[in-house]
Structures are given as C-alpha cells and as structure tokens.
Amino acid sequence: MVDPNLSYKIEAILFASHRPLKLDELQAILTKENKQNIKEAIQELSEFYNKTNRAFQLVKLGQTYQLETKTDIKELLQQAPSVKKRALSNATMETLSIIAYQQPVTRSQIDEIRGVESSYSIRLLLDRKLVAIAGKAEVMGRPLLYKTTQQFLNLFHFKTIADLPNIQEWKSELAMVEETSQTTEQEASSLN
C-alpha cells in the first residue's frame, strides 16, 4: 500500500537536505517504499509546485533530486538581509572555468593559463566543494590533478560536464557582437 503522505515526507527530506539526493538515498530513508512509488510521488510533488505557482521547484539534476528557489525570485532573495551572497571573485571564477574545461588539470597548468598564482582560488573552490582532487599526474613531482564535482554541476544546472557551453561557438558569437558594436560606432561617428 502506498503511503498517502509520501509526497509530504519526500518534500520534508529534500527541504532538510543540504545537497541533492539520489533515488536510492530517498529509498534508504523511506524504507517501506519502493522506487516506483517514490518516483511517482516526486512527479506528483513537482506537478503540484508547478500548478500552485510556488517560489521553489523540484528539479532533477542528473540522477539526483533537489528543491531549489525559482530563478525569477532569486534576485529578490539576494536583497533580503539574512541571505548571504556567496559570490566567487573573478579570479576564482576564472580558475573554476579553467578546471571545468581542462580537467583533470594541475595547479601549474592553471597558473600558466592564468599567468598568475592560483593556490588561493583552488583552496576556496575545494572548500566550497566545487572542485576535488582527481589524483596525481604521472609526471615528475606527481602534482595533484583537479576536477569539478557534482556540486559544480548542480550549481550551474548542468547534468554532465558535456553540457558546458562550447568555447568555439561562444568565441564566434562574441566576435559577431564585437563586429556589430564596431560597425555601430563607425556609423555613429560618420553622422557627427
């Protein structure tokens, strides 16, 4: 028999969890329920949130489930005094981008790409669990290799690392925007 309060229980578990949970983890907590019942309750809960226009939503990230604030309300919440802004600095975002696109990568490779020392940024990313140690390189000195984590994927709403934007496509779009901007500036200066 399916527990009529199953959706309610799943909502409470996901709300209290500090990270996304796999179906197996939910089943381990809800020991009397099978996976199919849990999946159906998750779908029911997701549909309920969508129908009732809640400020949060139930999202599936890869093989995990999580409650999160809808994007249209996040700006408002950032203005609230009790909500901490945990933005990453430009240097740390740059380091994270290099790790995401070059992984696995050593600190010296990151430093070479950035042109500056990156230890502090790497330490911060490790502390926030956005990157992890992937092993050691098979070169002299055996430096640590860094890779992104599931938490990185969740934060940026990627299911897999393959979902990262294609750098070449992005560069060509940027070049088109710059061309358009230069053309507009030239047209404006010719009018003067």
What pLDDT score does 31 carry?
84
Q: What is the reported pTM?
A: 0.55
What pLDDT score does 17 carry?
84
What pLDDT score does 156 carry?
85
Q: For residue 147, how many other CB atoms are within 10 A of its CB? A: 17
- Mean pLDDT, consecutive 10-residue stretches, the chain (192 aa), reads 79 87 90 88 89 88 86 76 70 93 94 93 93 93 94 87 82 69 63 60
By the 8 A CB rule, do 77 and 68 touch? Answer: no
Dihedral sign for Cα 92, 97, 100, 104, please: negative
What pLDDT score does 147 carry?
96
What pLDDT score does 75 carry?
75
What pLDDT score does 76 carry?
81
